[in-house]
Amino acid sequence: MNIGVLGTGMVGETIATALTEKGHNVRMGSRSANNEKAAGWVKKSNNHASQGDFNDAASFGEIVFLCLNGAHTLDAVGAVDAENVASKVVMDVTNPLDFSRGMPPGLLDGLSNFNSLGEEIQKAWPAAKVVKVFNTVNCNVMVNPKLVNNGDHSLFICGDDADAKNKVKHFLVDTFGWKADNLLDLGGIQSARVTEAYVPLWVSMMQAVGTPMFSIKVVK
């Protein structure tokens, strides 16, 4: 499948690499079509990897991953012609974290409490099917859930389009080995508020347990 990955940071590179290794064609998108980090990634990757600007990557992908820094996400989203993502599943991995006031982090002004990046992205791209997912685990765990508790831990999914969420669930199970029973649907995209608001706790837990290679499992 052709997949666009917007973002050249650790999260974007980890997801893009995992996808190319599984045989998907991945175009990494950044502000400029010749971004050096993306070029470095293409060079060290297999021939399924390519690069382009945000619009190139968005139009290339049948599905699109958003792996942008929270503070720059809405600028990047605004730089993409909404037609390039219309009717596509957009897997939104972003978090509006604000580390500027020390630990624990908070969330960026205007993107906390009764708002979220997930909702703002859906508003900016009304014809896209935005699914918030993956934002509550370390990027290595996203693509290899077995790194934690033999793969037995929970992941949250939310979005307004039921069919899109179903596609994402199947994709996570088939591509990365997530257990279907551990994928918890929290409802519409406004539930992005609660999964984004969880991430400061994730950061505090990471400090307490001493590793980012952990997760949580919902138990009854």
Residues that bind a copy of itself in the complex, under the rule CB under 8 A: 101, 104, 106-107, 112-114, 148-149, 152-154, 156, 184-187, 190-191, 193-195, 197-198, 200-201, 203-205, 207-209, 211, 213-220
Structure-token pair, residue 9: 């940071």
Residue 215 CA from chain centroid, whole number: 16
Closest by CA position to 67, among listed 123, 126, 2, 142: 142
Least separation in angstroms between residue 175's CB and a copy of itself is: 22
Q: Are 130 and 189 in contact (CB under 8 A)?
A: yes
State how far the alpha carbon of 5 is from the alpha carbons of 19, 28, 119, 165, 172, in Å: 10, 5, 19, 18, 16
User: CB-wise, 48 or 193, nearer to a copy of itself?
Assistant: 193
Q: How far is the CB of 17 from a copy of itself (least distance, A)?
A: 24
Residue 125 in contact with residue 85, Cβ under 8 Å? yes
Bridge partners (DSSP) of residue 65 are 5, 91
φ/ψ bin of 149: left (φ > 0), alpha (ψ from -120 to 50), beta (otherwise): left
Shortest Å distance, C-beta 69 to a copy of itself:
19
Q: In the bound complex, what is the minimum distance in angstroms from residue 201's beta carbon to a copy of itself? A: 4
At a CB cut-off of 8 Å and minimum separation 6, what does 34 contact? 51
CB of 152 to a copy of itself, least distance (A): 7
Q: How far is the CB of 27 from a copy of itself (least distance, A)?
A: 33
Q: Would you say 23 or 187 has its CB closer to a copy of itself? A: 187
Rounded Cα–Cα distance for residues 19 and 93 (Å): 15
> Residues in the chain, how many?
220
Nearer to a copy of itself (CB atom), residue 127 or residue 218: 218
- If the CB atoms of residues 79 and 197 are measured against a copy of itself, the closer one turns out to be 197
Choice between 51 and 182, CB closer to a copy of itself: 182
Q: Which is nearer to a copy of itself, 129 or 153 (CB)?
A: 153
